[in-house]
Structure 1
Amino acid sequence: MSHRNSGFCVGVDFGTTFTSVAFAHSSSAGEVKLVQTWPHSSTGSSSADQVPSVVYYTNPATRAKCWGYETLPRHIRPAPKPMQWFKLLLQMNNSASRRAGAPGLETTFHQLQLANPGPAGNCSPSSVGSHSFTALTITPAQETADFLQAVRELAVASIKQSYEFGWVESSKITYILTVPAIWSDSARNLMIQAAERAGYGSHRVNFNFVSEPEAAAAYTLKVVQPNNLKLGDTFIICDAGGGTVDVISYKITELNPLRTDESVCGTGDLCGSVFLDERFEQYMLRLLGDQVIDKMKPRSKAEMMRTWEEKVKLKFGNDVNEDMLEVTVPGVADNPALSVEDGFHFMTTAAVQQIFNPIIDRIVKLVEQQVNGVQDQGEHVAAILLVGGSGCSQYLLEKLKQGRFGGRGKIPVLQPVNAQSAIARGALQRGLEGSMVHKRLSRRSYGYLSHKQYAGTMAADVKARKEWDPGHSFWKVGGNLTWYIRRNEVVAQTALVTQLYTRKVPVPSNGFSPRLVFEDFLVSCDLDTPPDYNFQDPSAITTVCYMYSDLSSVPCSSFDVRMGSDGKQYYIIDYDVTMKIVDEVIKFEMLHEGISYGVVTAKFDEQ
Structure 2
Amino acid sequence: MSFDQWKKGRAGRYDDDSDSDDERGARGFARSPYQRSNEYDCYGREIDSERLSYDRRYADSREARGARQDGYQYKPAEHRIGSAMSVKKIPLPGLNAGLGNLAINDDTPLSRREMKNGKPKARPSAKQMESKLVAFPAKSAKQRMSSAQRVPAGSSNNRLLVAAIDFGTTYSGYAFSFRHEYDTNPSKMHANEWRNVAQGNMNAKTPTCLLLQPDMKLHSFGNEAKTKYASLCEENAHRTWFFFWEFKMTLHHEKEITQNYQLKDINGKLLDALTVFSLSIRALKDHLMTVLQNGYAGVRTNDVTWVITVPAIWNDSAKKFMRLAAEKAGLDKNNIEIALEPEAASIFCKLLPITRDPETETGMTIFPPGARYMILDCGGGTVDITVHEVLEDNTLKELHKATGGNWGGTVVNKSFLNFISNLVGPGVFNDFSKTHKSGYLELLEEFENKKRMTAADSTERVTIRIPIGLQEMLQNEKVKQKLQQGKYANKVDIYGDKLRMDAALFREFFQQAVDDIIKHTHDLMESLPRPVKAILMVGGFSESPVLQKAVKEAFGHMVKVIVPIEASLCVMKGAVLYGHRPSSISARKSRYTYGVAMTVPYIKGTHPSNRKYEDDGKKWCDGAFDKHVEIGQTVTPGEVQATRTYYPMSTSDKFLPVILYRSSAANPMFVDERSCDFVGFYFVKRQPGVGETTKQDAVRVRLVFGNSDIRVEAIKSDGIVHTADFRIE
Q: TM-score, normalised by structure 1?
A: 0.80
TM-superposed deviation, 1:192? 1.3
Greater length-normalized contact order (CA 8 Å, ≥ 6 residues apart)? 2
The alignment of Structure 1 onto Structure 2 pairs a total of residues equal to 534
Contact in 2 for aligned 1:233/1:380 (Cα 8 Å): no
Structure-1 separation of matches of 2:548 and 2:457: 13
Structure-2 separation of matches of 1:171 and 1:192: 16
Query: What is the aligned-residue RMSD (CA, Å)?
Result: 3.0
* 1:128-153 superposed Cα distances (whole Å, 9 cap, x missing partner): x9433996442122100000000001
Structure-1 separation of matches of 2:221 and 2:197: 10
**Closer, same or farther in 2 for the Cα pair 1:597/1:353, shift >3 Å?**
same
TM-superposed deviation, 1:601? 7.7
TM-superposed deviation, 1:265? 1.8
**Closer, same or farther in 2 for the Cα pair 1:534/1:172, shift >3 Å?**
closer
Structure-1 separation of matches of 2:645 and 2:553: 52
Structure-1 separation of matches of 2:212 and 2:459: 41
The equivalent of 1:481 in structure 2 is 625
Q: Which moved more, 1:284-293 or 1:572-581?
A: 572-581
Residue 368 (str. 1) matches residue 522 (str. 2): yes
Residue 55 (str. 1) matches residue 55 (str. 2): no
TM-superposed deviation, 1:86? 2.4
User: Residue 499 of structure 1 aligns to a residue in which SS?
Assistant: strand
Q: How does 1:542-557 map to 2 (within 5 A)?
A: 542-551=677-686, 554=687, 556=689
Contact in 2 for aligned 1:401/1:410 (Cα 8 Å): no
Structure 2 unaligned segments of length 5 or more: list them: 1-150, 356-363, 485-491
The equivalent of 2:510 in structure 1 is 356
Q: How does 1:265-284 map to 2 (within 5 A)?
A: 265-284=401-420
Structure-2 separation of matches of 1:197 and 1:464: 44
The equivalent of 1:22 in structure 2 is 175
Structure-2 separation of matches of 1:423 and 1:339: 39
Structure 1 counterpart of 2:706, which letter? Answer: V
Bigger Rg over Cα: 2
User: Residue 65 of structure 1 aligns to a residue in which SS?
Assistant: strand
The equivalent of 1:451 in structure 2 is 599
TM-superposed deviation, 1:39? 8.1
Contact in 1 for aligned 2:696/2:717 (Cα 8 Å): no
User: Residue 322 of structure 1 aligns to a residue in which SS?
Assistant: coil
The equivalent of 2:243 in structure 1 is 82
Structure 2 counterpart of 1:270, which letter? Answer: N
TM-superposed deviation, 1:17? 1.1
Structure 2 counterpart of 1:588, which letter? Answer: V
Structure-2 separation of matches of 1:329 and 1:135: 23
User: Residue 445 of structure 2 aligns to a residue in which SS?
Assistant: helix
Structure-2 separation of matches of 1:369 and 1:247: 12
User: Residue 401 of structure 2 aligns to a residue in which SS?
Assistant: coil
The equivalent of 2:190 in structure 1 is 33
Contact in 2 for aligned 1:590/1:597 (Cα 8 Å): yes
Contact in 2 for aligned 1:330/1:344 (Cα 8 Å): no
User: Residue 367 of structure 1 aligns to a residue in which SS?
Assistant: helix
User: Residue 264 of structure 2 aligns to a residue in which SS?
Assistant: helix
Structure-2 separation of matches of 1:4 and 1:94: 33
Q: How does 1:424-573 map to 2 (within 5 A)?
A: 424-454=572-602, 459-462=605-608, 465-470=611-616, 474-497=618-641, 498-505=643-650, 514-527=652-665, 529-534=666-671, 538-551=673-686, 554=687, 556=689, 560-561=692-693, 573=697
Residue 577 (str. 1) matches residue 728 (str. 2): no
Contact in 2 for aligned 1:468/1:476 (Cα 8 Å): yes
User: Residue 282 of structure 1 aligns to a residue in which SS?
Assistant: helix
User: Residue 175 of structure 1 aligns to a residue in which SS?
Assistant: strand
**Closer, same or farther in 2 for the Cα pair 1:282/1:477, shift >3 Å?**
same
**Closer, same or farther in 2 for the Cα pair 1:292/1:96, shift >3 Å?**
closer
* 1:388-416 superposed Cα distances (whole Å, 9 cap, x missing partner): 011111111111111149xxx42211110
Amino-acid identity (%): 21
Contact in 2 for aligned 1:148/1:198 (Cα 8 Å): yes
* 1:444-481 superposed Cα distances (whole Å, 9 cap, x missing partner): 1111111112457xx544577443331xx533222211
TM-superposed deviation, 1:94? 5.0
The equivalent of 1:118 in structure 2 is none
Q: Which moved more, 1:411-420 or 1:133-142?
A: 133-142
Structure-1 separation of matches of 2:725 and 2:585: 29
Contact in 1 for aligned 2:679/2:726 (Cα 8 Å): no
Structure 2 residue corresponding to 1:182, chosen from 297, 313, 319: 313
Structure-1 separation of matches of 2:403 and 2:300: 42
**Closer, same or farther in 2 for the Cα pair 1:487/1:291, shift >3 Å?**
closer
Structure 1 residue corresponding to 2:324, chosen from 170, 183, 193: 193
Residue 217 (str. 1) matches residue 372 (str. 2): no
TM-superposed deviation, 1:577? 2.5
The equivalent of 2:445 in structure 1 is 306
Structure-2 separation of matches of 1:526 and 1:453: 25
Contact in 1 for aligned 2:219/2:225 (Cα 8 Å): no
Residue 260 (str. 1) matches residue 426 (str. 2): no
* 1:53-112 superposed Cα distances (whole Å, 9 cap, x missing partner): 1112222x3423322111224663225572123222233345369xxxxxxxxxxxxxxx
User: Residue 72 of structure 1 aligns to a residue in which SS?
Assistant: helix
Structure-1 separation of matches of 2:378 and 2:314: 15
TM-superposed deviation, 1:42? 5.7
Structure-2 separation of matches of 1:170 and 1:475: 57
Structure-2 separation of matches of 1:73 and 1:32: 29
TM-superposed deviation, 1:500? 2.5
Structure 1 counterpart of 2:677, which letter? Answer: T
**Closer, same or farther in 2 for the Cα pair 1:561/1:388, shift >3 Å?**
closer
Q: TM-score, normalised by structure 2?
A: 0.68
Divergent runs of 4+, >6 A = none
TM-superposed deviation, 1:561? 4.6
* 1:156-204 superposed Cα distances (whole Å, 9 cap, x missing partner): 12223343x14x35982111111111111111111111000111211xx
TM-superposed deviation, 1:598? 3.0
Structure-1 separation of matches of 2:670 and 2:232: 59
TM-superposed deviation, 1:602? 4.5
User: Residue 584 of structure 1 aligns to a residue in which SS?
Assistant: coil
TM-superposed deviation, 1:496? 2.3
The equivalent of 2:564 in structure 1 is 416
Structure-2 separation of matches of 1:94 and 1:533: 19
Structure-1 separation of matches of 2:714 and 2:581: 32
Structure 1 counterpart of 2:309, which letter? Answer: T
TM-superposed deviation, 1:517? 2.4
Structure-2 separation of matches of 1:363 and 1:67: 31
TM-superposed deviation, 1:233? 2.4
Structure 1 unaligned segments of length 5 or more: list them: 98-128, 508-513, 563-570
User: Residue 439 of structure 1 aligns to a residue in which SS?
Assistant: strand
TM-superposed deviation, 1:547? 2.7
Structure-2 separation of matches of 1:572 and 1:134: 60
Structure 2 counterpart of 1:7, which letter? Answer: L
The equivalent of 2:82 in structure 1 is none
**Closer, same or farther in 2 for the Cα pair 1:599/1:432, shift >3 Å?**
closer
Contact in 2 for aligned 1:439/1:490 (Cα 8 Å): yes
